[in-house]
């Protein structure tokens, strides 16, 4: 059974196509953020290629319609841990990409409502992290992260605040991108069964169609291994709850806890909270879109900690599927050639909202 996210209340399922073209210049599989941004930027090339985007769901059923809507560059504790594993240069390069993506989203869609609440890392501050934040600010050439007093569930402490981050409605953003990608044809309800060497076998309405292409991009994120058996992408499930309307003294911000494994924001007077993947790693290493009671218990307990009380009920609980390449966020590039005509662009981890437009623009510039 299809499991709706809070955001999908605002979605209009798209009709299935009557037919599919036999040939296109560019075929894009998957209409999440990556596939849509790619269609938008390809449409700006001169001459613009004929682009067909095929999506097996009527809205999109992976990560983009089911995430937390953080338009974020990242936060200190996680960057600190990533720098230990992968080096400061890799952390700063990813930060810079996300910062570019953040600016791109705002520049393309000034009409998009962004909850300009900034983000706060609520994990304990220590001297090592202070020193790290100083380094990061110096390397970025601007004061991005400031330590300041914060309130979490009635407990006063300090945390690192970053003012530029904000919250978006992911489904509204997805729809804006699709409507702006006027040169592309979108076909929903079309499942790509096989792709490679200039041809894709697509299934729609119980029939199969072959679509031939000059170039194709597999933008199916956590589902990439279905179409690319050698894919390094490992699926990872993320679960999210939205509570009933709540009152709390907790700061209204994008909140990070537990090195970013747990995260929260306030939406329409409710608390949205996600995470727990680190505690249920084996169970959550799956491409199955389903929720679990064990993880619900963790999210409820974290919500009580964030709010400072238990006066709420869980009104929504859903799951989405991320794709990871070799690590949490810095694992590797999402771009891989499958053959001379076909490329996979998949594996954005837990941070694709700001990253996907940057990769899409980069790919389109190669045309």
Contact positions vs ligand FAD (CB under 6 A) = 29-35, 54-57, 60-64, 66-70, 72, 191-192, 219-223, 226-227, 238, 240, 274, 320-322, 346, 348, 350-354, 356
Pick the closer one to ligand FAD by CB: 272 or 307. 272
Pick the closer one to ligand FAD by CB: 118 or 320. 320
Residues 6+ apart with CB under 8 A from 230: none
C-beta of 46: minimal distance to ligand FAD in Å? 25
C-beta of 160: minimal distance to ligand FAD in Å? 18
Pick the closer one to ligand FAD by CB: 123 or 226. 226
Pick the closer one to ligand FAD by CB: 30 or 159. 30
C-beta of 154: minimal distance to ligand FAD in Å? 25
C-beta of 350: minimal distance to ligand FAD in Å? 5
Pick the closer one to ligand FAD by CB: 136 or 219. 219
Whether residue 35 contacts residue 225, with contact meaning beta carbons closer than 8 Å, is answered with: no
Which token pair is 329? 């966020």
Find how far residue 64's CA is from the centre of its chain: 6
CA-to-CA dists, residue 40 to 150, 196, 356, angstroms: 40, 23, 12
C-beta of 130: minimal distance to ligand FAD in Å? 26
Pick the closer one to ligand FAD by CB: 55 or 343. 55
Q: Angle at the Cα of 172 (from 167 to 177), degrees rounded to 5? A: 110
SS3 69: coil
Pick the closer one to ligand FAD by CB: 125 or 351. 351
CB-based burial, 105-137: b 16+ in 10 Å, e otherwise: bbebbeebebbebbbbbbbebeeebeebbeebe
Residues 6+ apart with CB under 8 A from 40: 108, 177, 180, 181, 184, 360
C-beta of 28: minimal distance to ligand FAD in Å? 9
SS3 135: helix
Pick the closer one to ligand FAD by CB: 150 or 346. 346
Distance in angstroms (rounded) separating the CA atoms of residues 149 and 161: 9
Distance in angstroms (rounded) separating the CA atoms of residues 319 and 193: 24
C-beta of 134: minimal distance to ligand FAD in Å? 26
In DSSP notation, 297-334 reads HHHHHHHHHHHTS----EEEEEEEEEEEESSSSSS--S
C-beta of 153: minimal distance to ligand FAD in Å? 21
- Could you tell me whether strands 314-325 and 233-245 are parallel, antiparallel, or unpaired per DSSP bridges? antiparallel
């Amino acid at each position: 059974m299809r499991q709706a996210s809070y955001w999908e209340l605002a979605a209009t399922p798209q009709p299935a196509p009557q037919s599919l073209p036999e040939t296109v210049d560019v075929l894009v599989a998957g209409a999440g953020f990556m596939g849509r941004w790619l269609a938008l930027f390809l449409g700006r090339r001169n001459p613009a290629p004929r682009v067909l985007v095929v999506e097996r769901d009527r809205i999109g059923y992976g990560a983009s319609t089911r995430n937390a809507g953080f338009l974020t560059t990242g936060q200190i504790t996680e960057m600190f841990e990533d720098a230990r594993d992968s080096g400061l240069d890799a952390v700063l390069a990813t930060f810079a990409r996300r910062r570019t993506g953040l600016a791109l989203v705002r520049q393309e869609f000034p009409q998009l409502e962004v909850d300009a609440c900034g983000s706060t890392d609520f994990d304990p501050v220590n001297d090592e992290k202070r020193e790290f934040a100083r380094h990061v600010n110096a390397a970025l050439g601007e004061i991005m992260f400031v330590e300041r007093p914060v309130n979490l569930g009635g407990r006063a402490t300090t945390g690192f605040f970053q003012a530029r981050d904000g919250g978006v409605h992911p489904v509204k953003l997805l729809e804006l991108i699709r409507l702006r990608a006027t040169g592309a044809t979108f076909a929903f309800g079309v499942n790509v069964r096989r792709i490679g060497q200039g041809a894709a076998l697509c299934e729609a309405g119980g029939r199969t169609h072959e679509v031939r292409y000059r170039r194709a991009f597999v933008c199916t994120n956590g589902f990439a291994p279905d179409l690319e058996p050698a894919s390094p992408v490992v699926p990872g499930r993320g679960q999210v709850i939205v509570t009933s309307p709540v009152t709390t003294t907790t700061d209204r911000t994008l909140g990070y806890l537990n090195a970013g494994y747990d995260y929260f924001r306030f939406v329409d007077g409710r608390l949205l909270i996600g995470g727990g993947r680190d505690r249920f790693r084996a169970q959550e290493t799956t491409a199955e879109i389903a929720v679990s009671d064990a993880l619900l218990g963790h999210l409820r307990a974290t919500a009580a900690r964030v709010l400072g009380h238990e006066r709420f009920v869980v009104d929504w609980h859903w799951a989405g599927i991320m794709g990871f390449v070799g690590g949490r966020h810095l694992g590797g590039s999402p771009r891989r050639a499958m053959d001379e005509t076909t490329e996979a662009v998949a594996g954005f981890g837990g941070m694709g909202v700001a990253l996907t437009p940057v990769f899409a623009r980069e790919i389109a510039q190669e045309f």
